């Protein structure tokens, strides 16, 4: 890869800031985010509190760091669910193109797409109680058909190629061909899609925790920081602006990275640019 797209560099740099902040929060945060200190409430930015404090006296920078951990963990595991269930389904559908199995998998996909995702996410969290885990499940379910569709579409075109035919002639079964020959060749596409779903997951987690259905207090999350800031927005708009900008930058970073990866990994586009 001689030519690395600027968007990839920019996106990777932006996302790693948050990944690092989230990682750092595991071992160190400037202030404890679970202890309230009313004496320090609503402070402006200062050397002691870089981004100021909220109405409970919690340090905003620390909350954003721990919030990054929540958001990233939820979105990442949700992507994991989508890949581990969706990709095998997509591969199986492609390997048995036109069969009943293919039809059932694809119609099942359409069906999940037909459900209004937010409504179902709210239903799921209402059934099992709001928590980060249920937010993960709710977001993860809607990742399954996305990955199944991408995997199936990419795999279908590979099944017509000579080297796959050669593998078939040599006596390998469909499952083995899918794992050994198809999967490695659709990896690029899956990585690009994973980046996109990751960023959508961050937005979905923010929306769910904004309405109180994500991670529960006292665990900070970006969405709930926004919800808590809503009543203070007239007097202290920064409380709402900072988490919002944080979400935007994280999602922007991931999307830029996805775009850049697609350009870098797709040989057709690379040739077109040269």
Residues that bind another protein (CB under 8 A): 107, 110-111, 113-120, 122-124, 126-127, 199, 203, 206-207, 210-211, 226, 230, 233-234, 237, 240-241, 243-244, 247-249, 251-252, 255-256, 259
The C-alpha atoms of residue 180 and residue 171 are separated, in whole angstroms, by 13
Q: How far is the CB of 68 from another protein (least distance, A)?
A: 15
Q: Are 85 and 144 in contact (CB under 8 A)?
A: yes
Nearest CB to another protein, comparing residues 122 and 179 = 122
Q: How far is the CB of 61 from another protein (least distance, A)?
A: 19
Q: How far is the CB of 142 from another protein (least distance, A)?
A: 12
Q: Which residues contact 270 (CB under 8 A, 6 or more apart)?
A: 3, 263, 264
Nearest CB to another protein, comparing residues 74 and 124 = 124
Query: CA nearest 64: which of 131, 12, 125, 17?
Result: 17
- Coil/strand/helix, residue 54: coil
Nearest CB to another protein, comparing residues 13 and 48 = 13
The H or E element containing residue 95 is: helix 60-95
Q: How far is the CB of 211 from another protein (least distance, A)?
A: 6
Nearest CB to another protein, comparing residues 37 and 230 = 230
Q: Are 159 and 182 in contact (CB under 8 A)?
A: yes
């Amino acid at each position: 890869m001689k030519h690395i797209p600027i968007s990839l560099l920019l996106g990777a740099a932006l996302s790693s800031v948050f990944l690092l902040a989230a990682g750092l929060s595991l071992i160190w945060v400037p202030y404890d985010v679970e202890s309230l200190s009313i004496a320090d409430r609503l402070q402006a930015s200062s050397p002691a509190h870089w981004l100021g404090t909220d109405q409970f006296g919690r340090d905003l920078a620390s909350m954003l760091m721990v919030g990054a951990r929540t958001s990233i963990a939820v979105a990442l595991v949700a992507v994991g669910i989508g890949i581990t269930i969706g990709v095998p389904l997509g591969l199986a559908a492609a390997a048995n193109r036109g069969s009943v199995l293919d039809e059932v998998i694809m119609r099942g996909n359409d069906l999940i797409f037909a459900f209004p995702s937010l409504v179902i996410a709210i239903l799921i969290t209402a059934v099992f109680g709001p928590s980060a885990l249920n937010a993960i499940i709710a977001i993860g379910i809607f990742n399954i058909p996305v990955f199944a569709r991408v995997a199936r579409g990419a795999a279908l075109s590979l099944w017509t190629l000579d080297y796959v035919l050669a593998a078939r002639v040599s006596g390998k079964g469909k499952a083995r061909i899918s794992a050994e020959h198809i999967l490695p060749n659709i990896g690029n596409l899956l990585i690009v899609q994973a980046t996109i779903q990751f960023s959508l997951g961050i937005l979905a987690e923010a929306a769910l925790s904004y309405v109180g259905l994500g991670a529960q207090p006292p665990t900070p999350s970006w969405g709930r920081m926004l919800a808590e800031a809503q009543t203070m927005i007239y007097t202290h708009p920064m409380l709402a602006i900072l988490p919002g900008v944080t979400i935007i930058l994280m999602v922007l970073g991931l999307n830029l990275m996805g775009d850049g990866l697609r350009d870098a990994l797709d040989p057709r586009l690379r040739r077109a640019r040269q």
